[in-house]
Amino acid sequence: MELKEFQDYLNSQRLKFTRPRNLIFKEIFSSKKVHPNAYEIHKRLKSKGHKVSLATIYRTLSLLVKSGLVSEIDFGESHSHYEPDVVKAAHGHLVCLSCGEVKEFSHERIRTILNKVGKESHFMMEKFSIQVFGYCRKCQKK
């Protein structure tokens, strides 16, 4: 399970594994199809009776991103969303411009192409991010 990786990361940096960090981690990893933003994590924890401040959520998200366990993604809104970075395969998001629904897709060929593109420019690819904007099946009918 990935929790151990988080603990290892914290240890390696001489940081502490605290109750709020545990809660935030579990909230992100428990439902992998959700791409919550900071405020949503805050709301979900509160509804379960845990009070963790927004500041701590932002601080922990920043740690998780640094550790490489979580990715920050942008859906064209004014805030960031977060997702577990456990999906090893190339994947992107289909974002509906009408209802906001987000669906994941994966395509190994994309990673291969991007890797090749990078090499041509002597660029060392670390990670990439693909968002496709358009209209989902439901919203097309309207």
Partner DNA sequence: TTTAATGCAAACATTTTGCACCCTG
Partner DNA sequence: CAGGGTGCAAAATGTTTGCATTAAA
Q: Which residues bind a copy of itself (CB under 8 A)?
A: 72, 74, 76, 92, 94, 96-97, 103, 105, 107, 109-110, 113-114, 117-118, 120-137, 140
Q: Which two tokens stand for residue 128?
A: 């990439």
Among 39, 123, 128, 133, binds DNA (CB under 7 A): 39
CA dihedral 90, 31, 29, 1 (to 10 degrees): -90
Q: Which of residues 56-115 bind DNA (CB under 7 A)?
A: 56, 58-60, 62, 77-80
Question: Could you give the CA distance from residue 138 to residue 132 in angstroms, rounded to a whole number?
Answer: 17
Which residue, 17 or 135, has its beta carbon nearer to DNA? Answer: 17
CB of 57 to a copy of itself, least distance (A): 17
Q: What does the DSSP assignment read for 60-86? A: HHHHHHHHTSEEEE--SSSS-EEEETT
Binding positions for DNA, rule: CB under 7 A: 10, 14-21, 37-39, 51-56, 58-60, 62, 77-80
